Amino acid sequence: MNDVFLNEMGVVCALGGDADAVGRALFDTAAPANAATDAVTPGRPLVLGRVLSALPAMDDQPVALRGRNNALLRQAYAQIAPAVAAAIDQHGASRVAVVLGTSTSGIGEAEHALHQRALGQPWPSGFHYAQQEMGTPARFVRALSGARGPAWTVSTACSSSAKAMMSAARLLRAGIVDAVIAGGADSLCRFTVEGFSALESVSARRCNPFSRHRDGINIGEGAALFLMTRAPGAVRLSGWSETSDAHHLSAPDPAGTGAIAAIQQALARAGLSPAQIDYVNLHGTATRQNDAMESRAMQAVFGAPVPASATKPLTGHTLGAAGAIEAALCWLTLARNPAGLLPPHWWDGEADPELPALALVAPGESAARVPRHLLSHSFAFGGSNAVLAFSRD
């Protein structure tokens, strides 16, 4: 049995500014508002998974550590700070590590600075080149927490923070550290929205996963952090696996070979059969190719439909933070959900007849039994596949 636990969790995303708010909104039976905005793409309104609540000020931080990405992390970290302080007191700062995932880091701040320069103005005083470095999130959380163990950032597109949690589990199982602050963050910026638009993968409406009418993703932002230790806690990271398609730079292997292997290996590590899984959080981007591949992978592994949903219509696709944020939704489903509700699948209800049928969770739907074992999928560019299994013992 894997003795790695997610003892505490902090999250901020389009659903809310802390774990309690996110939990309430996650299981709400009212349809998400998803108002379009041109805040990121002037003159082109898009539905985005924006964090609308005020974020912590960053003026007390060195310029190199400022920025929206780290402000999101600070908001998530505040929710687990007492538990981290207790872990440092118990084990020593050198025995607490930081492993995070991101794909944007401080690119938004760099965009603003470059725009100023293009207008012939000096570099903004609040800009430092290091803000956009991929290692900056881990440096920031390490400095914020006082942890002095290993610290690094994983950047493998949409599997980044799921892979960060796997790295944290390996550190713990190897005995290198006694606690890890693990998770990830990504912030909205024009670079990612325009990049996915160039691939014709962005929808102007609320995304519509697995529908015959699906036409692309909604980009989102947010952060989720966990304190992971070997001490028993609310949720156990019971299994994990990562594979690589080696198929295409951006498109998944249509047969889902790598995804199937990742799901099967995560189940095997957890010592679970497909029949024991109570719910699957699907990657569910609402792009033509990803949804087709994932539905085939689900059929290949599970055969009979298992309750499943894609939560990106609620949060947006938070890219490098998606694995951690969707892990947070699984954590809430297991740890703070006495009614046994499952995360709903918001869509138009018109299934694609070319895809294998999925048992998509309706708003307000409860599990047939008390949820004990959940899976979460993250499938990224370059065929980077990551699957996490969560259990409540």
Active-site residue set? 158, 283, 317
What does the H/E/C string look like for the chain?
CCCCEEEEEEEEECCECCHHHHHHHHCCCCCCCCCEECCCCCCCCEECECCCCCCCCCCCCCHHHCCHHHHHHHHHHHCCHHHHHHHHHHHCHHHEEEEEECCCCCHHHHHHHHHHHHCCCCCCCCCCHHHHCCCHHHHHHHHHHCCCCCEEEECCHHHHHHHHHHHHHHHHHCCCCCEEEEEEEECCCHHHHHHHHHCCCECCCCCCCCECCCCCECEECEEEEEEEECCCCCEEEEEEEEEECCCCCCCCCCCCHHHHHHHHHHHHHHCCCHHHCCEEECCCCCCHHHHHHHHHHHHHHHCCCCEEECCHHHHCECHHHHHHHHHHHHHHHHHCCCCCECCCCCCCCCECCCCCCCEECCCCCECCCCCCEEEEEEEEHHHEEEEEEEECC
